Amino acid sequence: MSGVNKNIVILISGSGSNMAAIVSAARQRRWADRLGARVAAVISNKASAQGLVWAREQGIEVVALDHSRFGSREAFDGALMVDIDRFEPALVVLAGFMRILTPGFVQHYEGRLVNIHPSLLPAFTGLKTHQRAIEMGCRFAGATVHRVTAELDHGEILDQAVVPVLPGDTAEVLAARVLTQEHLMYPRAVEKLLART
Protein backbone atom coordinates (compact mmCIF):
# COMPACT_ATOMS: atom_id res chain seq x y z
CA MET A 1 0.00 0.00 0.00
CA SER A 2 3.03 2.28 -0.20
CA GLY A 3 1.72 3.74 -3.46
CA VAL A 4 -1.61 4.79 -1.94
CA ASN A 5 -1.94 8.57 -2.09
CA LYS A 6 -5.64 9.17 -2.79
CA ASN A 7 -7.69 8.99 0.38
CA ILE A 8 -11.47 8.71 0.26
CA VAL A 9 -13.59 9.86 3.21
CA ILE A 10 -17.19 8.62 3.20
CA LEU A 11 -19.93 10.40 5.16
CA ILE A 12 -22.97 8.41 6.31
CA SER A 13 -25.96 8.81 8.62
CA GLY A 14 -27.39 5.29 8.74
CA SER A 15 -26.75 1.75 7.52
CA GLY A 16 -24.21 2.86 4.95
CA SER A 17 -25.16 0.37 2.23
CA ASN A 18 -23.65 2.57 -0.49
CA MET A 19 -20.55 3.03 1.67
CA ALA A 20 -20.25 -0.76 1.95
CA ALA A 21 -20.65 -1.11 -1.83
CA ILE A 22 -17.81 1.36 -2.38
CA VAL A 23 -15.53 -0.32 0.18
CA SER A 24 -16.22 -3.73 -1.38
CA ALA A 25 -15.57 -2.44 -4.89
CA ALA A 26 -12.31 -0.83 -3.75
CA ARG A 27 -11.10 -4.24 -2.58
CA GLN A 28 -12.44 -6.34 -5.44
CA ARG A 29 -11.18 -3.93 -8.11
CA ARG A 30 -7.85 -3.33 -6.33
CA TRP A 31 -8.10 0.45 -6.18
CA ALA A 32 -5.00 0.61 -3.95
CA ASP A 33 -2.85 -1.13 -6.56
CA ARG A 34 -4.48 0.26 -9.69
CA LEU A 35 -5.39 3.80 -8.65
CA GLY A 36 -3.39 4.47 -5.48
CA ALA A 37 -6.69 4.95 -3.65
CA ARG A 38 -8.28 3.67 -0.44
CA VAL A 39 -11.23 4.38 1.82
CA ALA A 40 -9.37 6.05 4.68
CA ALA A 41 -12.29 6.89 6.98
CA VAL A 42 -16.04 6.71 7.46
CA ILE A 43 -17.61 9.58 9.39
CA SER A 44 -21.18 9.81 10.66
CA ASN A 45 -23.23 12.55 12.27
CA LYS A 46 -24.89 9.80 14.37
CA ALA A 47 -22.95 7.62 16.79
CA SER A 48 -25.67 4.94 16.43
CA ALA A 49 -25.22 4.63 12.63
CA GLN A 50 -24.98 0.92 11.81
CA GLY A 51 -22.58 1.66 8.98
CA LEU A 52 -19.91 2.65 11.52
CA VAL A 53 -20.00 -0.86 13.01
CA TRP A 54 -19.51 -2.46 9.59
CA ALA A 55 -16.73 -0.05 8.60
CA ARG A 56 -14.89 -0.65 11.88
CA GLU A 57 -15.10 -4.40 11.27
CA GLN A 58 -13.38 -3.80 7.91
CA GLY A 59 -10.48 -2.10 9.66
CA ILE A 60 -11.46 1.38 8.48
CA GLU A 61 -11.08 4.30 10.85
CA VAL A 62 -14.46 5.62 11.95
CA VAL A 63 -15.50 8.93 13.49
CA ALA A 64 -18.86 9.80 15.08
CA LEU A 65 -19.59 13.52 15.29
CA ASP A 66 -23.04 14.16 16.78
CA HIS A 67 -24.56 17.15 14.97
CA SER A 68 -27.01 17.75 17.85
CA ARG A 69 -24.12 18.87 20.09
CA PHE A 70 -23.53 21.95 17.94
CA GLY A 71 -25.41 25.22 18.10
CA SER A 72 -25.48 25.82 14.35
CA ARG A 73 -24.95 24.12 11.01
CA GLU A 74 -21.83 26.25 10.55
CA ALA A 75 -20.34 25.06 13.85
CA PHE A 76 -21.02 21.42 13.00
CA ASP A 77 -19.63 21.75 9.48
CA GLY A 78 -16.52 23.46 10.85
CA ALA A 79 -15.87 20.56 13.23
CA LEU A 80 -16.64 18.07 10.45
CA MET A 81 -14.07 19.73 8.18
CA VAL A 82 -11.40 19.35 10.89
CA ASP A 83 -12.16 15.62 11.13
CA ILE A 84 -12.20 15.13 7.35
CA ASP A 85 -9.06 17.15 6.68
CA ARG A 86 -6.99 14.90 8.97
CA PHE A 87 -7.19 12.35 6.14
CA GLU A 88 -6.21 14.78 3.34
CA PRO A 89 -8.97 13.42 1.09
CA ALA A 90 -8.84 13.29 -2.69
CA LEU A 91 -12.61 12.67 -2.55
CA VAL A 92 -15.33 13.23 0.04
CA VAL A 93 -18.22 10.90 -0.76
CA LEU A 94 -21.70 11.46 0.66
CA ALA A 95 -23.46 8.12 1.06
CA GLY A 96 -26.78 8.69 2.79
CA PHE A 97 -25.43 11.63 4.77
CA MET A 98 -28.65 13.32 5.82
CA ARG A 99 -27.39 16.83 6.41
CA ILE A 100 -27.73 19.93 4.24
CA LEU A 101 -24.19 21.27 4.00
CA THR A 102 -23.27 24.92 4.41
CA PRO A 103 -21.85 26.88 1.47
CA GLY A 104 -18.53 27.19 3.30
CA PHE A 105 -18.24 23.42 3.61
CA VAL A 106 -19.13 22.87 -0.05
CA GLN A 107 -16.63 25.51 -1.17
CA HIS A 108 -13.87 23.99 0.98
CA TYR A 109 -14.21 20.66 -0.89
CA GLU A 110 -15.06 22.09 -4.30
CA GLY A 111 -14.28 19.56 -7.01
CA ARG A 112 -13.78 16.77 -4.44
CA LEU A 113 -17.33 16.39 -3.05
CA VAL A 114 -19.81 13.92 -4.58
CA ASN A 115 -23.26 12.65 -3.66
CA ILE A 116 -25.79 10.08 -4.80
CA HIS A 117 -29.43 11.15 -5.05
CA PRO A 118 -32.34 8.70 -5.49
CA SER A 119 -33.91 10.28 -8.58
CA LEU A 120 -33.06 11.07 -12.17
CA LEU A 121 -31.89 14.61 -11.60
CA PRO A 122 -32.86 17.29 -12.39
CA ALA A 123 -36.23 15.70 -11.54
CA PHE A 124 -37.28 15.35 -7.89
CA THR A 125 -34.60 17.12 -5.92
CA GLY A 126 -34.93 16.91 -2.14
CA LEU A 127 -36.85 14.25 -0.22
CA LYS A 128 -39.57 11.63 -0.87
CA THR A 129 -38.33 11.15 -4.42
CA HIS A 130 -39.83 7.70 -5.00
CA GLN A 131 -43.30 8.64 -3.74
CA ARG A 132 -43.26 11.77 -5.88
CA ALA A 133 -42.23 9.80 -8.99
CA ILE A 134 -45.10 7.35 -8.46
CA GLU A 135 -47.62 10.14 -7.84
CA MET A 136 -46.52 11.93 -11.02
CA GLY A 137 -47.08 8.77 -13.06
CA CYS A 138 -43.43 8.41 -14.08
CA ARG A 139 -42.63 5.27 -16.04
CA PHE A 140 -38.99 5.41 -15.02
CA ALA A 141 -37.10 6.37 -11.89
CA GLY A 142 -33.49 5.96 -10.84
CA ALA A 143 -30.53 7.54 -9.16
CA THR A 144 -27.89 10.13 -9.96
CA VAL A 145 -24.28 10.58 -8.87
CA HIS A 146 -23.40 14.27 -8.99
CA ARG A 147 -20.89 16.80 -7.82
CA VAL A 148 -22.09 18.76 -4.80
CA THR A 149 -22.61 22.50 -5.15
CA ALA A 150 -24.16 25.05 -2.81
CA GLU A 151 -27.51 24.53 -4.58
CA LEU A 152 -29.14 21.30 -3.36
CA ASP A 153 -28.98 18.41 -5.87
CA HIS A 154 -27.86 20.65 -8.75
CA GLY A 155 -24.19 19.82 -9.39
CA GLU A 156 -22.69 18.28 -12.52
CA ILE A 157 -24.20 14.86 -13.26
CA LEU A 158 -21.50 12.17 -13.27
CA ASP A 159 -23.59 9.02 -13.77
CA GLN A 160 -27.19 7.87 -13.74
CA ALA A 161 -29.04 4.56 -13.46
CA VAL A 162 -32.58 4.07 -14.71
CA VAL A 163 -35.13 1.57 -13.40
CA PRO A 164 -38.76 1.05 -14.46
CA VAL A 165 -41.65 2.10 -12.29
CA LEU A 166 -43.93 -0.95 -12.29
CA PRO A 167 -47.70 -1.10 -11.76
CA GLY A 168 -48.46 -1.48 -8.07
CA ASP A 169 -45.09 -0.15 -6.92
CA THR A 170 -44.98 1.44 -3.50
CA ALA A 171 -42.31 3.96 -2.59
CA GLU A 172 -40.55 1.25 -0.56
CA VAL A 173 -40.55 -1.30 -3.39
CA LEU A 174 -39.30 1.28 -5.88
CA ALA A 175 -36.64 2.47 -3.43
CA ALA A 176 -35.31 -1.08 -3.06
CA ARG A 177 -35.14 -1.50 -6.86
CA VAL A 178 -33.29 1.79 -7.23
CA LEU A 179 -30.91 0.93 -4.37
CA THR A 180 -29.66 -2.21 -6.14
CA GLN A 181 -28.58 0.03 -9.03
CA GLU A 182 -27.05 2.61 -6.68
CA HIS A 183 -24.77 -0.10 -5.29
CA LEU A 184 -23.46 -0.77 -8.80
CA MET A 185 -23.31 2.80 -10.05
CA TYR A 186 -21.78 4.69 -7.12
CA PRO A 187 -18.57 2.63 -6.93
CA ARG A 188 -18.24 2.87 -10.73
CA ALA A 189 -18.61 6.67 -10.65
CA VAL A 190 -16.11 7.01 -7.79
CA GLU A 191 -13.62 4.82 -9.64
CA LYS A 192 -13.91 6.99 -12.76
CA LEU A 193 -13.25 10.11 -10.68
CA LEU A 194 -10.21 8.53 -9.03
CA ALA A 195 -8.82 7.56 -12.42
CA ARG A 196 -8.99 11.24 -13.46
CA THR A 197 -7.33 12.68 -10.33
The full length of the chain comes to 197
Residue range(s) defining the domain that contains residue 136? 6-196
Q: Please report the sign of the dihedral spanned by the C-alpha atoms of residue 167, residue 173, residue 177, residue 178.
A: positive
Does residue 67 lie within any of the structural domains? yes
Q: At what angle do helices 171-196 and 17-28 cross, to 10 degrees?
A: 40
Residue 100 and residue 152: Cα distance in Å, rounded? 8
Angle separating helix axes 50-57 and 17-28, nearest 10 degrees: 20
Predicted pLDDT at 197: 80
Residue 96 backbone dihedrals phi, psi, to 5 degrees:
75, 35
> What is the domain count for the chain?
1
State the CATH number of the domain containing residue 124. 3.40.50.170
Residue 75 maps to a domain: yes
Sequence-distant (6+) residues with CB within 8 A of 37 are 4, 6, 7, 8, 26, 31, 90, 194
Cβ 156 vs Cβ 146: under 8 Å: yes
Per-residue pLDDT of the chain (197 residues; tens, 9 = 90+): 447 899 999 999 999 999 999 999 999 999 999 999 999 999 999 999 999 999 999 999 999 999 999 999 999 999 999 999 999 999 999 999 999 899 999 999 999 999 999 999 999 999 999 999 999 999 999 999 999 998 888 899 999 999 999 999 999 999 999 999 999 999 999 999 999 88
Nearest to 98 by CA among 56, 68, 143, 58: 68
In a domain, 139, yes or no: yes
In a domain, 118, yes or no: yes
User: Does residue 1 lie in a domain region?
Assistant: no
pTM of the model: 0.95
Q: Residues with catalytic annotation?
A: 117
